[in-house]
Structure 1
Amino acid sequence: MPWWSTLICLLLAAQLWASSLRNLDDVIGLLEKILATTLALVVLVVGHNIMLELVGLLVALGLPMARRRT
């Protein structure tokens, strides 16, 4: 995998991790952290199948945010 695609995937994993910290729902936040960690590990350890990583990232970024109770 080229260095620029590795860097992009790692930055997107970091963005997903940051999104999990802002999420009010603990379960969705934990799922986002698990997906971000998995994406980072796949990029760093395997690094061959970028389509699988991008599909997983798109699914993770599409997770709903918790609504605030007023």
Structure 2
Amino acid sequence: MDYENLGSGELSAYQLVAKAYSYAFVELEIDGETYTIQPIDYVGESTLSSGYYTYQIDANDTTEQYDRLSISLVED
């Protein structure tokens, strides 16, 4: 899913999806640089049960494309 631009601390609206996992592919731009969370696969993972969830994306100080972001799931 594509989301509109979100600033630091901003939230998006909930989106209805057919299935989701506790982590996801994320690609975003910070100060003109692209950063990525790239799951290898979802083997052995279960889909989330129906409900409202938030993916919280955090960034640290590194400039490495695949190490700057982390993702955590919050059940709302």
TM above 0.5: no
TM interval, short-chain normalised: under 0.3
- TM score, norm. by length of structure 2: 0.24
More strand by share: 2
More helix by share: 1
Larger RCO (CA within 8 A; separation ≥ 6): 1
